[in-house]
Amino acid sequence: MSEGIRVAVSTVIFSLRSRPDAPDALMLPLVRRTRGPFLNHWAVPGGWLREDEGLDDAAARTLDETTGLSASYLEQLYAFGEVDRSPTRVVSIAYWALLRQDLVDAQLSTRPAPENVAWFDVDDLPTLAFDHDRIIAYALWRLRNKVAYSRIAAGLLPDEFTLSELREVYEAVLGRRLDPSNFRRLIEGSEALVPTESFRTGKHRPARLFRYNAEVALAETGPPT
Amino acid sequence: MSEGIRVAVSTVIFSLRSRPDAPDALMLPLVRRTRGPFLNHWAVPGGWLREDEGLDDAAARTLDETTGLSASYLEQLYAFGEVDRSPTRVVSIAYWALLRQDLVDAQLSTRPAPENVAWFDVDDLPTLAFDHDRIIAYALWRLRNKVAYSRIAAGLLPDEFTLSELREVYEAVLGRRLDPSNFRRLIEGSEALVPTESFRTGKHRPARLFRYNAEVALAETGPPT
């Protein structure tokens, strides 16, 4: 039987953060542990599953409790259950979500994050507790995989955006530069985007704003209920 | 904490079974329960996670113990953890796999399946225990989704096959007829298949045998290890 096994949840939140004089960076919040094991190590936000709550609810609750953040939709990523991933036997159900920077800022303006929370560039992570490096690597793999064939980038953008802004999201997620002309041809050839009649003006020449075609689902929504 | 929560695994195995005078059918093995809750109801093969085994190992072990079957690779599907999915609190990590009919037959020829195992057409399932109808529905959704954009059908076919045989797999998986000419054009336009110099002969005119391009992964392989 499985009486000695405990169940936890953890959640990887990706956001795109602007940086002065540098391209936007894909970042995620981590929580510095205030107890053992792995005291003072950084960990993915999470906590124990309660007997009276479902997995999705537990992910949302522990994310809120540890970081002050909430996402409109958390997608289940994977159940991590290696025997030696923790000193005691813990199966952790990992979730992930995208959260727009303006929504992060709005949430933290009403209730500041706990002191032991910090945001890290996905390419510059600290030493992590447990197998959380593996959880983050898999969440990143899933995100990169999805951005290539779905409308997932919409979760990181405002409702309307220029093609350059969209390309910068792809570049931050994929971790490499893309050729602007090729990118424009690829996107314009798909039916994912709808042009608007608005333009972004500024120091460059005006650029048309686009929005995603709302008829296409943003992410896999899990099993039918 | 989560001391009152137990962890189980369950596995959905899909195979394509030939039927006399009918198209091949997509089928899966179910196990009739010999104890409560849901005594005598049909359930997806599975069992309790042991403290000393990982999730993948538990899925393989319980599949073997309940059905006598083994698959070369089990893919994790989803963690099901609704509070009311069982009279006691059970989180079940579901797996799924494809198993070729000839491998099923070979395995069962050396060690027959337990008496309480039977194969069912996915379109004609009995009343199921727990939320196992939901687990099967999600596995089927994942399979149908994958067959549309990956080489997943290879898991149901012998190494070499005709385009008609491949189309019949798609038809069984998708549950609908496909236009032969359109299907041929679609497949020949992709680089998924490699033609061989062999032909299937029989009552129809000879048909060229194809194999899948081995350079393409068969299925998502889970997080990096």
Which residues partner with B6 through β-bridges?
B90
A78 touches chain B (CB under 8 A): yes
Share of chain A above pLDDT 70, in %: 92
Q: Is the pLDDT of residue A154 over 80?
A: no
Distance CA A193, CA A159 (A): 11
Report strand pairing: B207-212 vs A193-200: unpaired
Task: Please name the residues between 86 and 105 in chain A that touch chain B, using a CB distance below 8 Å.
Answer: 89, 91, 93
Q: Testing the interface with B: which of A1, A2, A50 to mutate, by most B Cβ within 10 A?
A: A2
Asked if the Cβ–Cβ distance from A82 to B134 is below 8 Å, we say: no
Contact A120, A32 (CB under 8 A): no
Strand ranges inside chain B, DSSP E: 6-19, 22-32, 42-43, 46-48, 75-80, 90-98, 117-121, 193-200, 207-212
A35 touches chain B (CB under 8 A): no
Residues of chain B with pLDDT below 50 are: 218
Asked if the Cβ–Cβ distance from B2 to A135 is below 8 Å, we say: no
Tell me which architecture the domain covering A152-212 has in CATH: Orthogonal Bundle (1.10)
Q: Residue B89 CA to chain centroid, in angstroms? A: 27
Looking at residue A183, what is its pLDDT? Answer: 86
Among A152, A174, A173, A126, smallest CA distance to A26 is for A173
Fold assignment, B153-225:
Arc Repressor Mutant, subunit A (1.10.10)
Distance CA B136, CA B151 (A): 21
Chain B: residue whose CA lies nearest to A76: B78
Q: Where are the domains of chain A?
A: 6-149, 152-212
B223 touches chain A (CB under 8 A): yes
Asked if the Cβ–Cβ distance from A79 to B83 is below 8 Å, we say: no
Q: Is the pTM of this model over 0.90?
A: no
Asked if the Cβ–Cβ distance from A91 to B8 is below 8 Å, we say: no
pLDDT band at A215, cuts 50/70/90?
low
Tell me which architecture the domain covering A6-149 has in CATH: Alpha-Beta Complex (3.90)
Q: Which amino acid is residue A95, in one-letter code?
A: Y
Angstroms from B180 CA to nearest CA on chain A: 27
DSSP assignment string, B13-65: EEEEEEETTEEEEEEEEEEE-SSSSSTT-EE-SEEEPPTTS-HHHHHHHHHHH
In sequence order, the 6+-apart residues with CB closer than 8 A to the CB of A51 are B2, B4, B5, B83, B89
- Strand, coil or helix: what is B125? coil
Which chain B residues have a beta carbon less than 8 Å from that of A75? none
Q: Is the pLDDT of residue A45 over 80?
A: yes
* CATH number for the domain whose boundaries are B1-149: 3.90.79.10
Which whole number is the average pLDDT over A48-64? 97
Q: Testing the interface with A: which of B48, B85, B91 to mutate, by most A Cβ within 10 A?
A: B91
Q: Which of A2, A8, A134 lies closest to B6 in CB terms?
A: A2
Shared fold status for A6-149 and A152-212: no
Which chain B residues have a beta carbon less than 8 Å from that of A1? 6, 48
pLDDT in tens, A23-40: 888 999 999 999 999 999
Looking at residue A87, what is its pLDDT? Answer: 94
Q: Is the pLDDT of residue A149 over 70?
A: no
The four Cα atoms B105, B106, B109, B112 give a dihedral, to 10 degrees, of -70
Task: Please name the residues between 131 and 150 in chain B that touch chain A, using a CB distance below 8 Å.
Answer: 134-135, 137-138, 141, 149
CA distances (Å), origin B29, targets A200, A216, B123, B133: 58, 35, 13, 13
Distance CA B222, CA B225 (A): 9
Distance CA A124, CA A27 (A): 9
pLDDT band at A153, cuts 50/70/90?
confident
Share of chain A above pLDDT 90, in %: 56
Among B36, B72, B220, B57, smallest CA distance to A91 is for B57
Among A144, B91, B118, A38, smallest CA distance to A156 is for A144
